[in-house]
Amino acid sequence: MKTVGLFAGWGSLPRVVAEDAKNRGYRLIAIALDPVANPEELRPYADVLEEINVGKVGKILDALKKNQVKEAVMAGKVPKNLLYQKKIRPDLKAVKILLSLKNRNDDTIMLALVKELEKEGIKLLETTEFCKDILVREGVLTKKSPSKEEWADIEYGFALAREMGRLDIGQTVVVKNKAVMAVEAIEGTDKAIKRGGRLAGDGAIIVKAAKPSQDMRFDVPAVGAKTIEAMVEARARVLALEAGKTLFLEREKAIKEANEAGITIVGFKGKKSI
């Protein structure tokens, strides 16, 4: 039986990945990263479940080695703002990694962790290895399609989102009438949507895109039902997602709620394709 390790962060993606791995016959070693993961959602699928503080990098590596893990996958958000709170208690290994970084951008941190895994003979797989079926497809996903003006904002927002991704700032921008209302930073997608909505009033356009050189092993763009809830609160009108590069969790629930709220969802590849 093939073994895979799972670094589980916040949200429902870890459960989706765990269920897929189990259904495919993997022996699953799940590391529920405290304080963000929900270990109870993983318990039905994990052969081994360890709850370890996200700052205990040495302990995490020891748990993987003890269980003969040679391949692993990351799933779920680990908010970077934890670095600036007391919820992370970094061990010596984590401190050494942080001190070695040229900056604390997402990719810089994650690539340093990948390097530590490789030193231990552990290969990090692409997250989509275990969730390809929830990647956003190209096209309009809701009953309502974008208007001509909304398409113009989507194209404008997409170019900006890609540039923000290239700079490793965030994946989401909020625009209206070709003006930027908000750019996602450390606070995350939902809070950026709400912040942008407060400035835009009715009718904001939300665009989420992968980085131009997106590493599909970590920080893969993802949305779900909570994204739609944030849009409803912000009175936003359109959610445009990069097709083939964005994970859509709780898809049926999210689309149903979007249709009820009159929100348009579209999978997009950088040019008008509908």
Query: Mean pLDDT over all residues of the chain?
Result: 93
Q: Is 76 left (phi over 0), alpha (psi -120 to 50) or beta?
A: left
Evaluate whether residue 151 is within a structural domain.
yes
Q: Is the peptide bond before 35 cis (omega within 30 degrees of 0)?
A: yes
Whole-angstrom distance, CA of residue 84 vs CA of residue 59: 21
CA dihedral 19, 20, 25, 29 (to 10 degrees): -60
pLDDT at 199: 96
104 and 222 inside one domain: no
How far CA 241 is from CA of 137, 184, 252, in Å, comes to 9, 14, 16
Taking alpha carbons only, the member of 39, 12, 19, 9 closest to residue 225 is 12
Evaluate whether residue 100 is within a structural domain.
yes
pLDDT digits over 80-108, tens only? Answer: 666 666 667 788 888 888 888 888 787 88
148 and 57 inside one domain: no
Q: Answer with the one of 76, 95, 130 that is the final residue of a domain.
A: 130
Structural domain including 29 reads 3-130
Q: Is the pTM of this model over 0.75?
A: yes
Work out how many domains the chain is built from and give that number: 2
179 and 252 inside one domain: yes
Write the CATH number for 231. Answer: 3.40.140.80
103 and 140 inside one domain: no
Evaluate whether residue 273 is within a structural domain.
no
User: Mean pLDDT across the stretch 22-43?
Assistant: 96
184 and 202 inside one domain: yes
122 and 146 inside one domain: no
118 and 146 inside one domain: no
